[in-house]
Amino acid sequence: MATATAGLGGLAGLAARFRTCPVTGLKVDAAAETLIKANAVAAVVFLAIGGFLGVLVALTRWQGVHLLGPDTFYLVLTAHGINALLLWIIFFEVAVLYFASAVILNSRLAAPQMAWAAFVLMVVGALAVNWAVLQGDSSVMFTSYVPMQASPLFYLGLILFAVGALIACFVFFGTLVIAKEEKTYEGSIPLVTFGALSAAIIAVFTIASGAIILIPTFLWSLGYIRHIDSVMYKLVWWGMGHSSQQINVSAHVAVWYLIGALVLGAKPISEKVSRVAFLFYILFLQIASAHHMLVEPGLSAEWKVFNTSYAMYLAVLGSMIHGMTVPGAIEAAQRKRGFTNGIFEWLRKAPWDNPAFAGMFLSLVLFGFLGGISGVVLGAEQLNIMMHNTLYVPGHFHATVVAGTTLAFMAVTYLVLPLIFRREVMFPTLAKWQPYIFAIGVAGTSLFMLGAGTLGVSRRHWDITFSDAALGFDYPGTAFLMLALNGLFAILATVGGALYVIVTVATVLFGERVGPEGPKTPISAAPAAVTAEAVGKYGSAGTLHLPGTYVLITVFFVAFVLYYFVNWKYLSELWPMS
Amino acid sequence: MAVHPPEARIWWNEPVPKGELLWVAVAFLWGVVMFVMMIWWHLEGRQNLSTEVYRIDPEVFRSRVEAFVERHKVGEEGTTGIPVARVPPGGDAYMLGRLWEWWPVLELEKGKTYRLHLSSLDWQHGFSLQPVNINIQVHPGIEHVLTITPTQAGVFSVVCNEFCGVGHHQMTGRIRVVEPGTGG
């Protein structure tokens, strides 16, 4: 990796704004750096709040503990969704956008004042929506389905937050334009920036959908509009709700590539294929609103089949491609670095004690195996009849959004701390264990929620013993066991999450400053002691040998196919209906 | 590296490695299989959600369900006072969701096919039939007519699985399925 490229050359006035990163040789704009820090800090604060609320939810659903009363439970569940799913992730994504544009492209950030305005709007919106929920009259869940009504402040807070996020997207787009105009890079934008670009494009669509539905709903809560159609609300709301998860996917896939590149020097096996996969996200992910409408009255079967499958699974194809090209790029890089023995030496001797790499790889595996497969099954039109609104749904999205996105963002934080905050990561031993503890915890909660959902247990439900209900019902004992295990693993995940917050906050506040020669703990992992002869230019056809990756994707594919058809078998045993 | 611009300026003309191309083809074909599976199930499968749907005023639906209960009431469910309606085999069954109950209790015969009318009088609710595990979203102002054939006898519960306020977890209902000819 290049060391400091001395001399910024040219415009002396601009030079004051930049420093040169001793590790990557990238020019870092001071304004971009401060904004990345601000957004990342806000993100971690909301993660801490959201995570804490999450364990309260899990400990209530563990019927043996049943921590909270019903009012508090529904309030806390609403707040958990908003803080963990929306605020933490979007704040972090804004940081990723600024990093992927200004820093990676060696450019200055467009309109830093606008970026600050965006930040302030997002913070004000975030506080407003939390305040509204805490008042107790807006326990409407993250989804706020009409005709259930929250207080106007709830919708207004969400709108302000979304407007802020939209401005941040345009700062990102502006930075791309500036970088191109000022020729801060040559050729096409790097893959990581390309991934961030797809995330930002999807974000614009997402926020537009949010505006289309939340503004009328806000006016309805004030009494200016009499009626909001409940099916229409869901259709458009999920244009925001589901598409925003696709922002996450694009962003965390970009982060996977980023970590692979910085830690191992990995480069895409094929630029073309990886970029087309991102393009599939942009083109097809938005119609996934249908995933939430599969057992809804009033929509045709044709509409459901086409939309739920992202037009013949083309967005799934995108993810399956990344699922191969990311480990493939890592295997190629590792082999080039000398780990060439057998099928799996590259994986065995990967830098597992580097939390950035470990978190990234665990995120990849859990996202694919747990989140990806369960998502496709959940999104098959008829199979959804067995799963809609059961715990299968949160089981699925905790695998995608927590084990996938959140873990990937945690992982990249271990690079952001030394490179952007320029602090040595404190408590390196805790940091080393953190991704594993968090990943095991989240994998457990996802699995046991998927299991409980398969047994029919309802999501968003305070008491599955139905002790206050006129007509009782007994879920099978296994369901209660699943919820208890879910609670235990949620505690483990919380420990992992708390370690992350502690390491991050301590490092930002008290970490030793990184010197001009770069961080003491090297970012990039050490190559094999005896470096084999360079494989040459492995980015092209003919020189590529990736047996380990092929074994991994074969295992994945077999698991996928088997699980998919097992569910159709279950479906065939249901009462016939038409 | 993925953080640098592509090495080859004309990267879109670079050949794609064979293994990667093969995986793209496999993944694409698998997508086609999954797509066709849903369509095939509409033709050959026996579990497909009805698309028979009507706009209806919640008050009109309520009066229809009440008239249905009046016609077919055979008793009350235990000491709850909730009416039990025995639906004539092959006939129309009605169930409404409201804060916070599914009403009334239905009695059906195993192996017979019924037209089940579902709607809500207030907010959205989730019709979750347990332990069969059939889950359908129910909206106010929309009447959804399902054609359904119970294949097991026994007592089945309807759990509300769409959050509907602080009494959500108390919202349950019941469907009794009896062997043919043993009703009542």
DSSP symbol at A286: G
Q: In whole angstroms, what is the distance from residue A385 CA to residue A389 CA?
A: 9
In 3-state terms, what secondary structure has residue A104? coil
Whole-angstrom distance, CA of residue A268 vs CA of residue A325: 7
Q: Contacts of residue A537 in chain B, CB cutoff 8 Å?
A: 7
Asked if A471 and B77 come within 8 Å (Cβ–Cβ), the reply is yes
Which amino acid is located at A478 in the chain? Answer: T
Chain A, window 447-466: residues with a beta carbon less than 8 angstroms from a chain B beta carbon: 455-456, 458-464, 466
What's the DSSP call for residue B182?
A: -
Q: Is A314 on the interface with B (CB under 8 A)?
A: yes
A186 near B CB under 8 A: yes
The CA distance from A234 to the nearest CA of chain B, in Å, is 11
Buried b / exposed e along A143-175 (16+ C-beta atoms within 10 A): bbbbbbbbbbbbbbbbbbbbbbbbbbbbbbbbb
In sequence order, the 6+-apart residues with CB closer than 8 A to the CB of A164 are A117, A118, A119, A120, A121, A122, A123, A125
Are A461 and B169 inside 8 Å of each other by CB? yes
pLDDT at B183: 62
Phi, psi of B81 (to 5 degrees): 80, 0
User: Interface pTM (ipTM) of the complex?
Assistant: 0.96
Task: Give the percent of chain B with pLDDT over 70.
Answer: 99
- Both tokens of residue A529? 């002691």
State the amino acid at position A22 in one-letter form. Answer: P
Contact criterion met (CB < 8 Å) for A390 and B148: no
Query: CA–CA separation, A465 vs A467, rounded Å?
Result: 5
Q: Does A390 touch chain B (CB under 8 A)?
A: yes
Q: By the 8 A CB rule, do A312 and B31 touch?
A: yes
What pLDDT shows up at residue A534? 41
Say whether residue A564 is in contact with chain B using an 8 A CB cutoff.
Answer: yes
Per CB-CB distance under 8 Å, the chain A contacts of B152 are 575
Nearest CA distance, A138 vs chain B (angstrom): 10
Mind telling me how many Å the CA of B42 is from chain A's nearest CA?
9
**Do β-strands B105-109 and B83-86 pair in parallel, antiparallel, or remain unpaired?**
parallel
Q: How many CB pairs under 8 A join A and B?
A: 306
Regions of chain A short of the pLDDT cut 50: 1-13, 15-16, 531-542
Q: Is A541 on the interface with B (CB under 8 A)?
A: yes
Distance of CA A243 to the CA centre of its chain: 12
| Helix pair A310-336, A271-284: axis angle to 10 deg | 150
Sheet bearing B172-178, strands edge to edge: B73-76, B83-86, B105-109, B172-178, B154-160, B125-130, B134-138
- What is the C-alpha to C-alpha distance for residues A542 and A131, in angstroms, rounded to an integer? 59
Q: Residue A311: its pLDDT value, please?
A: 84
Contacts of A558 (CB under 8 A, 6+ apart): none
Q: Chain B closest CA to A538's CA: distance in Å?
A: 10
Rounded to the nearest 10°, the torsion over CA A414, A42, A213, A176 is: -60
Q: What is the predicted pLDDT for the residue at B84?
A: 97
Cβ <8 Å between B51 and A300 = yes
Whether the CB of A381 is below 8 Å from some CB of chain B: the reply is yes
Best interface-test mutation with A: which of B123, B159, B166 has the largest number of A CBs within 10 A?
B159
Provide the 3-class DSSP secondary structure of residue A35: helix
A370 touches A443 (CB < 8 A): yes
For A496-515, letters b (16+ CB in 10 Å) and e give bbbbbbbbbbebbeebeebe
DSSP assignments along A62-78, one per residue: STTT--S-HHHHHHHHH
User: A297 vs B162: CB contact, 8 Å cut-off?
Assistant: no
Identify all chain A residues contacting B38, using CB atoms and an 8 Å cutoff: 305, 308-309, 380-382
Short-list A439, A438, A440, A441, CA closest to A499: A438
Instruction: Inspect the interface and report whether the beta carbons of A578 and B1 lie closer than 8 Å.
Output: no
pLDDT band at B177 (very low <50, low <70, confident <90, very high): very high
Question: Is B50 in Cβ contact with A578 (below 8 Å)?
Answer: yes
- Which residue of A57, A389, A550 is the best one to mutate when testing the B interface, meaning the one whose CB has the most B CBs within 10 A? A389
> Helices (DSSP H) in A398-540: which residue ranges?
407-416, 428-454, 477-510
What average pLDDT does this structure show over B54-65?
97
Q: How far is A325 from chain B (nearest CA, A)?
A: 8
Long-range contacts at A473-476 (CB < 8 A, ≥ 24 apart): A473/B130, A473/B157, A473/B159, A473/B172, A475/B130, A475/B131, A476/B131
- Residue of B24, B44, B121, B163 to mutate, interface with A, max A Cβ within 10 Å: B163
pTM equals: 0.94
Contacting residues of A for B51, CB less than 8 Å apart: 299-301
CA of B13 to nearest chain A CA: how many angstroms apart?
A: 8
Per-residue confidence (pLDDT) for residue A8, from 0 to 100: 40
Nearest chain B Cα to A548, which residue? B19
Identify which of B23, B135, B160 has the shortest CB distance to residue A385: B135
Give the other-Cβ count within 10 Å of A4's Cβ: 15
- Cβ–Cβ below 8 Å for A576 and B126: no
Put simply, whether A525 touches B (Cβ < 8 Å) is no
> How far is CA A231 from each of CA A301, B55, B119, rounded to the nearest angstrom?
15, 12, 13
Residue contact B128–A390, C-beta within 8 A: yes
For residue A267, give how far its alpha carbon lies from the nearest alpha carbon of chain B (Å): 4
More confident residue, A515 or B140: B140
Q: Residue written as tokens 């057998």?
A: A342
Assign B51 a pLDDT band (cuts: 50, 70, 90): very high
Q: What DSSP designation does A386 have?
A: G
CB contact under 8 A, B34 and A309: yes
8 Å CB contact of B14 and A266: no
Compare all CA atoms of chain A with the CA of B158 and give the residue at the minimum distance. A473
Closest by CA position to A330, among listed A318, A347, A316, A353: A347
Nearest to B23 among A316, A537, A553 (CB): A553
Q: What is the pLDDT of residue A286?
A: 75
Amino acid (one-letter) located at A300: S
Burial A352-361 (b: 16+ CB within 10 A, else e): bebbbbbbbb
Q: How far apart are CA A402 and CA A248, in angstroms?
A: 10
Measured between CA atoms, the residue of chain B closest to residue A1 is B1
Per-residue model confidence (pLDDT) at position A521:
82
Q: Kindly determine whether residue B11 and residue A382, on different chains, have CB atoms separated by under 8 Å.
A: no
**Nearest residue of B to residue A543 by CA position?**
B17
The Cα-based distances of A339 to A104, A368, A378, A530 in angstroms read 28, 25, 39, 9
Residue type, A304: K
Per the listing, tokens 């007509």 go with: A471
Nearest residue, CB atoms, A145 vs list B124, B135, B157: B124
CB contacts, 8 Å: B95 with chain A? none
d(CA B159, CA B100): 11
Question: What is the spatial distance between Cα B141 and Cα A150, in angstroms, rounded to a whole number?
Answer: 21
Given an 8 Å threshold on Cβ–Cβ distance, is A270 in contact with B20?
A: yes
Q: Which two tokens stand for residue A486?
A: 């879910």
Q: Over chain B, what is the mean pLDDT?
A: 95
In this structure, which amino acid lies at residue A166? Answer: L
Please tell me the distance in Å from A197's CA to the nearest CA on chain B. 13
Residue B18 structure tokens: 């064979």
Residues 399-438 of A with CB under 8 A from B: none
Tell me which residue in A268, A471, A557 faces B173 most closely, judged by beta carbons: A471
Query: Side chain identity at A172, as an amino acid letter?
Result: F
Number of residues written out for chain B? 184
Q: Which of A297, A472, A575 sits opposite B139 (nearest CB)?
A: A297
